[in-house]
Amino acid sequence: VSDVNVRYLGSADLEAYMALREHSFGYPDDDETRTRFLERLPSIVGAFDRDGRLVASASGFRFETHVGGRAQGLLGIAAVQTAPAARRRGLARRLIRRLLQDARQQGIAWSMLYPFDPDFYARLGWQSLPSSVKLRLPIAACGAPSHVDAHPIQGPLRAALAPLYQRCVVGWNFCDARTAGPWDGWDDLQPVPGTRSSAYDLGEAYLVLRLRDDGADGTTLEVRDQSWCSAAGRSAALALVASYAGQAEWVELEVPRDDPLAWSWSDWYARPTRGTRMVRAIDVGTALTGFDAQQRSDPVAFEIVDPFAAWNAGTWQLENDAGVTRLCATQLQPRARLDVRALALLVGGAASPAAVQRAGLASGESAPLRALAALAGGRTPHHASNDRF
């Protein structure tokens, strides 16, 4: 599409952006929304037709995540939209590629988004990952109530919980580190007096709670946010939840897919969250460099196929550079061939090499796939709905 000008938006584009957005997603028409959009305009890339009209846009927010126990930059892509009369001309695709190119220049390793249709983004190299399970359980499923040493939090949640949160989320892949972003997610969780809300620090875990009256269904204890960084923390958090027995019949909480509550109860009590998220390596060199390297005397070469982000395509090998991984281009014969989507699955700890091969996302020998899966360090993906952008 050559007759289109692509650039980031500024405050003069607010009305045009709101008009386009109204058509695609709608929005609450209030001052707060206008202020929020105004703040976000510099993160939004737009396509303008030859009359200067905004005909498509896509937002790219900068976050930080953890992968394999290390912090990496994350580009959150949202609100991809093209005016109906300009659709099917490759504009969405072009804006998305522009966001990737700019993030790549800034050294951002990964990108995440919530798809309207997973197939649309799979064609562009994004991979759906399991995120978490939302359960609505009879409160007795949390075990027996017992006394726990819980410290009620009075002031701002961020000040009280951010260090503990960091200790917890480093154990997951592709979570939101909550250190950067266009807004502060802790603000939305802040307990408000008069709403039966509370928050507790349990040392190795925390809980942000609210009691909700569900009429004839009784009372539900909503766990609005929680994390634990050890078995002791988890057990204390569940004991505190269980102590609401008698006051609440149900508990609603969201847990990682490999939490014991999910193992035992998902098939009875899981609720849809429509929270599918997809992840993509923006630049394979940035995404795979800097992990703790295991002793590896024989680096294995693998080919990456990535038609949408051609800078990633080629044959690479993972080397051990003074104790950390480094991805290098190589002339060696590749021993496996991977769709770029396989990287999110393997490095994210979401699927085994065998599953990735069965999905048709990799072929050849499994040694390179095992080396990539090892970067996850046994961690699995987790992303709480609270962190949706």
Ligand X SMILES: CC(C)(COP(=O)(O)OP(=O)(O)OC[C@H]1O[C@@H](n2cnc3c(N)ncnc32)[C@H](O)[C@@H]1OP(=O)(O)O)[C@@H](O)C(=O)NCCC(=O)NCCS
- Two structure tokens written together for 163: 């260090």
Closest CB to ligand X among residues 62, 94: 94
Number of residues engaging ligand X in binding (CB under 6 A):
16
Residue 88 near ligand X by CB under 6 A: yes
Rounded to whole angstroms, the Cα distance separating 100 from 93 reads 11
What would the DSSP string read from start to end of 59-72? Answer: EEEEEEEEETTEEE
Asked if 48 contacts 20 with a C-beta cutoff of 8 angstroms, the reply is: no
Q: Please, which residue, 207 or 344, has the CB nearer to ligand X?
A: 344
Q: Which two tokens stand for residue 60?
A: 């790219």
DSSP assignment string, 71-118: EEEEEEEEEEEE-GGGTTSSHHHHHHHHHHHHHHHTT--EEEE--SSH
Q: Give the span between the Cα atoms of 145 and 141, in whole angstroms.
A: 11
Q: Is 271 in the site for ligand X (CB under 6 A)?
A: no
Q: Minimum Å distance from CB 93 to ligand X? A: 3
Query: What is the signed CA dihedral for 99, 101, 102, 108, rounded to 10 degrees?
Result: 90
Stretch near ligand X under the rule CB under 6 A, chosen from 75-83, 257-265, 314-322, 379-387: 75-83
CB 140 → ligand X: shortest distance, Å?
Answer: 39
Among 89, 158, 212, 335, binds ligand X (CB under 6 A): 89
Least gap, CB of 90 to ligand X (angstroms): 4
Amino acid identity, residue 239?
A
Nearer to ligand X, 1 or 211 (CB): 1
Contact of 73 with 243, CB cutoff 8 Å: no
Contact status: 3 vs ligand X (CB under 6 A): no
Indicate whether 80 belongs to the interface with ligand X (CB under 6 A).
Answer: yes
- Smaller CB distance to ligand X: residue 118 or 143? 118
Rounded-to-integer distance, Cα 214 and Cα 343, Å:
43
Closest approach of ligand X to the CB of residue 55, in Å: 9
**Minimum gap (Å) between residue 165 Cβ and ligand X:** 28
User: Looking at beta carbons only, is 122 or 162 nearer to ligand X?
Assistant: 122
How many whole angstroms from its chain centre is CA 239?
A: 28
- The mark string for 117-156 relative to ligand X (x by CB under 6 A, - otherwise) is x--x------------------------------------
* Residue 24 engages ligand X in binding (rule: CB under 6 A): yes
Residues lying near ligand X in the complex (CB under 6 A) are found at: 24, 56, 80-82, 87-93, 115-117, 120
